[in-house]
Amino acid sequence: MSTVTLTRLKAMKAHGEPIAMLTAYDAGFAYCAEQAGVDLLLVGDSLGTVVQGHATTVPVTLDHMVYHTALVARAAQRAMVLADLPFLSYATPEQAVASAARLMQEGGAHGVKLEGGRDVVAAVERLAAFGVPVCAHLGLLPQSVNKLGGYRVQGREADEARRLKEEALALEQAGADLLVLECVPAALASEITVALTIPVIGIGAGGGCDGQVLVVYDLLGITPGKRPSFAPDFLTGHSDGINGALRRWVDAVRQRTFPA
Ligand code: KIV
């Protein structure tokens, strides 16, 4: 068990204490992120793009996720470790349970994250029933990029915004413990954050969420290819290296100066 628990994260939401979540894919970065004070380490399937060099997260397999989760979990002392269920590894509740078992038992994750709204409610219910901490993920869903036709802001139209809010409530009702909101308008993200009792962590979703998450390579300015506009480089121009950059980002999240 980690020192940072779901109870602690809920208390942080209740007290308005911003939560810092950062991706990590190996022991070295997990160690640095913990030293910087992050609450949650996410073994994101973004490793498909930033580590493996693919164009999308679709080629990432459960075996890849188990391997990288084990690297991170070995270094984590304090932070809660969440691992992404990769593309099509949770298409049914049974598959979700089997995949989560591998990430938690072989990988050492404390919980899992999965993308989607209504279609994953049954999987979330089943995971929650068996004691698996679940982080839901709404808004831009990178695993669906081939269907979406690109990476763009979601929830700009009123009906889409309504659907996202309904799905967020349905996921909470189903037993999700956390929600990541990716690339949605700031006003909608704030509205959903207020409507839910579980902590909401934003990425490209403005400053009104309960916490922030970034891909660690983005904030270090070492993204292969184009860095998202919502992820400033916290390393370049400073002399205190990677540890300094990670500390600067965590401090900025805590002080709500990130996102600007
Ligand atoms: O895979 C990932 O790193 C993620 C974050 C961007 C939230 O899902």
Report percent pLDDT > 90 for the chain. Answer: 96
**Residue linked to tokens 């304090």:** 78
Residue 115 Cβ contacting ligand 1 at under 6 Å = no
Mean pLDDT of 77-106: 98
CB 242 within 8 A of CB 222: no
Predicted TM-score (pTM) of the model is 0.97
Instruction: Give distance in angstroms: CA of 215 to centre of ligand 1.
Output: 6
Catalytic residues: 182
Mean pLDDT of 110-114: 98
- Residue 186 corresponds to which amino acid? A
Atom of ligand 1 nearest to the CA of 84: 1
What's the pLDDT at 19?
98
Evaluate if residue 195 carries a pLDDT over 90: yes
Tens-place pLDDT, residues 164-194: 999 999 999 999 999 999 999 999 999 999 9
Please give the Cα distance from 40 to 37 (Å, whole number).
9
Q: Tell me the CATH number of domain 6-254, given options 3.20.20.60, 3.30.1120.10, 3.20.20.450, 3.20.190.10.
A: 3.20.20.60
The dihedral formed by the CA atoms of 91, 93, 96 and 100, expressed in degrees to the nearest 10: 170
**Every domain of the chain and the residues it spans:** 6-254
Instruction: Give distance in angstroms: CA of 46 to centre of ligand 1.
Output: 6
Residue whose Cα lies nearest atom 2 of ligand 1: it is: 44
CB 103 within 8 A of CB 131: no
Please give the Cα distance from 182 to 193 (Å, whole number).
13
Residue 213 neighbours by CB under 8 Å, 6+ apart: 21, 22, 23, 40, 42, 180, 201, 202, 203
Residue 143 Cβ contacting ligand 1 at under 6 Å = no
Instruction: Give distance in angstroms: CA of 45 to centre of ligand 1.
Output: 6
Residue 84 Cβ contacting ligand 1 at under 6 Å = yes
Instruction: Give distance in angstroms: CA of 44 to centre of ligand 1.
Output: 5
